[in-house]
């Protein structure tokens, strides 16, 4: 069921949530409802309590229930004739990066440096661009999960609410689901030992005064587990590893790699500046973390397996590292 857009977005809106929107996060609902509203605005009106559900304040991660009454305050939205936020070149590149598409799901090979959504000073991200590429489905398009801005690789975008609910359940492991298996590749400092196959260390989010989010290993943090496997060694200088996050914490692979003593190349937050500079001098001007593959079961029982190549810069940098072997 599609909720009709308000004819007067400058007025307070009260929306009764239908059954097919149950389970969606309130922040994602507002981003779809208030088409074109900056993400920073969405979180500001949530933080200030201007958005109410059943007359009560809620957090951005609140999941809507059928029958919820949502109060939306007046906000200014872009006019229909305002220019598109996303340039043609980026749209063409993103179209070419689509790895899989059916009536309910899109999987793209997200480029490094492109955020998954706008906000925090960014006018747009992958989801805004995909909504522009697929205007007929823009009201339903939602990110299934997220990747850091500087991480490349497989990113799922649901085109239907039923697919979004199914994949969210799979990610949580609900109903005995086999979950979504995601595998990453990363170039790390030093010689990763074959004996280090798991990093099991709790992670805690911290926000610095600048507003920058950092994650640290902390005994009071959430349980976090990443499995690692050595793919290729470049002497004692660097190692290419495969990383499979068993849990899904923010910056998990990056922090766990550093915790193991092998930070990822090109990581401005958790990396080693000297190591990253040496990789940069070899042509590697990026974060060397790539979501290389994913596997999941679709609602009809079919198994979807997708892989994504990391790109020419990645390949050429590794080719130059062969002299360290």
Give the CATH number, domain containing residue 26: 3.10.290.10
Same domain, 20 and 116: no
Is residue 123 predicted with pLDDT exceeding 60?
yes
- Work out the pLDDT band at 244, boundaries 50, 70, 90: very high
Domain membership flag for residue 202: yes
CATH of the domain at 115: 3.30.2350.10
Question: How confident is the model over 87-119, as pLDDT tens digits?
Answer: 778 888 889 999 999 999 999 999 999 888 876
Domain membership flag for residue 6: no
Same domain, 157 and 121: yes
Domain membership flag for residue 264: yes
Domain that holds residue 92: 88-168
Same domain, 152 and 262: no
- Work out the pLDDT band at 325, boundaries 50, 70, 90: low
Question: How confident is the model over 39-64, as pLDDT tens digits?
Answer: 778 888 999 999 999 999 999 999 99
Same domain, 99 and 152: yes
DSSP single-letter state for residue 71: E
Q: What's the domain count of the chain?
A: 3
pLDDT of residue 8: 41
d(Cα 56, Cα 51) in Å, to the nearest integer? 8
Q: 176: helix, coil or strand?
A: helix
Same domain, 186 and 297: yes
pLDDT of residue 116: 87
Read off the pLDDT of each residue in 288-309 and give the average, rounded to a whole number: 95
Domain membership flag for residue 8: no
- Structure-token pair, residue 236: 């004692």
Domain membership flag for residue 100: yes
- Category of 190 on φ-ψ map: left (φ > 0), alpha (ψ -120 to 50) or beta: left
Q: Are 280 and 271 in contact (CB under 8 A)?
A: no
Same domain, 202 and 267: yes
Could you say which of 148, 150, 267, 272 is catalytic? 148
Domain membership flag for residue 63: yes
Buried b (16+ CB within 10 A) or exposed e, 158-170: bbbbebbbbbbeb
Same domain, 146 and 199: no
Residue 296: count other Cβ atoms within 10 Å of its Cβ: 23
Residue that is last in its domain, among 101, 135, 168: 168
| Whether residue 218 lies in the annotated active site | no
Is residue 134 predicted with pLDDT exceeding 90?
no
Same domain, 113 and 223: no
Same domain, 164 and 188: no
- Work out the pLDDT band at 122, boundaries 50, 70, 90: low
pTM: 0.74
Q: 50: helix, coil or strand?
A: coil
The backbone torsions φ and ψ at residue 205, rounded to the nearest 5 degrees and listed phi first, read: -80, 140
pLDDT of residue 37: 77
Q: Are 130 and 155 in contact (CB under 8 A)?
A: no
Q: What is the mean pLDDT of the chain?
A: 88
DSSP secondary structure letters along 242-309? EEEESS--TTHHHHHHHHTT-PBTT-TTTS-HHHHHHHHHTT--S--EEEEEEEEE-TTSPEEEEE--
Read off the pLDDT of each residue in 239-266 and give the average, rounded to a whole number: 96
Is residue 238 predicted with pLDDT exceeding 90?
yes
Residue that is last in its domain, among 168, 190, 215: 168
pLDDT of residue 174: 65
The region of weakest confidence among 31-35, 78-82, 133-137, 164-168 is 78-82
pLDDT of residue 77: 67
Residue that is last in its domain, among 168, 188, 210: 168
Same domain, 92 and 164: yes
- Structure-token pair, residue 311: 């790109």
Domain membership flag for residue 1: no
Is residue 171 predicted with pLDDT exceeding 50?
yes
Question: How confident is the model over 177-226, as pLDDT tens digits?
Answer: 557 999 999 999 999 999 999 999 999 988 675 667 789 999 999 999 99
Same domain, 292 and 234: yes
Same domain, 204 and 184: yes
Read off the pLDDT of each residue in 163-176 and give the average, rounded to a whole number: 83
Domain membership flag for residue 268: yes
d(Cα 171, Cα 275) in Å, to the nearest integer? 34
DSSP secondary structure letters along 191-242? ---TT--EEE--EEEEE-TTS-EEEEE-TTSB--EEEEEEEEEETTTEEEEE
- Work out the pLDDT band at 75, boundaries 50, 70, 90: confident
Q: 49: helix, coil or strand?
A: coil
């Amino acid at each position: 069921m599609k909720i009709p857009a308000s004819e007067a977005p400058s007025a307070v809106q009260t929306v009764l949530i239908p059954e097919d929107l149950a389970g969606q996060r309130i922040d994602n609902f507002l981003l779809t409802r208030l088409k074109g509203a900056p993400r920073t605005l969405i979180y500001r009106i949530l933080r200030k309590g201007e958005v109410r559900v059943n007359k009560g304040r809620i957090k951005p991660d609140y999941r809507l229930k059928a029958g919820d009454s949502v109060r939306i305050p007046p906000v200014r939205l872009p006019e229909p004739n305002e220019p598109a936020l996303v340039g043609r070149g980026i749209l063409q590149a993103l179209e070419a990066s689509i790895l899989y598409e059916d009536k309910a799901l899109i999987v793209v090979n997200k480029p490094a440096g492109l955020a998954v959504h706008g906000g925090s000073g960014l006018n747009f991200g992958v989801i805004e661009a995909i909504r522009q590429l697929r205007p007929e489905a823009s009201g339903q398009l939602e990110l299934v999960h997220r990747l850091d801005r500087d991480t490349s690789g497989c990113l799922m975008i649901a085109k239907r609410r039923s697919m979004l609910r199914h994949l969210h359940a799979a990610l949580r492991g609900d109903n005995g689901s086999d979950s979504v298996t995601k595998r990453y590749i990363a170039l790390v400092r030093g010689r990763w030992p074959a004996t280090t196959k798991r990093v099991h260390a709790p992670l805690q989010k911290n926000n610095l005064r600048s507003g920058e989010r950092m994650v640290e290993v902390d005994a009071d943090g959430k349980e976090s587990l990443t499995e690692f496997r050595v793919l290729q060694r470049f002497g004692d200088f660097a190692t290419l590893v495969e990383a499979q996050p068993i849990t899904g914490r923010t910056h998990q692979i990056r922090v766990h790699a550093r915790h193991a003593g092998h930070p990822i190349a090109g990581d401005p937050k958790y990396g080693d500046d000297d190591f990253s500079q040496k990789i940069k001098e070899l042509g590697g001007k990026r974060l060397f973390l790539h979501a290389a593959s994913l596997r999941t079961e679709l609602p009809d029982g079919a198994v979807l397996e997708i892989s994504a190549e990391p790109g020419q810069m990645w390949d050429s940098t590794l080719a130059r590292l062969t002299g360290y072997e």
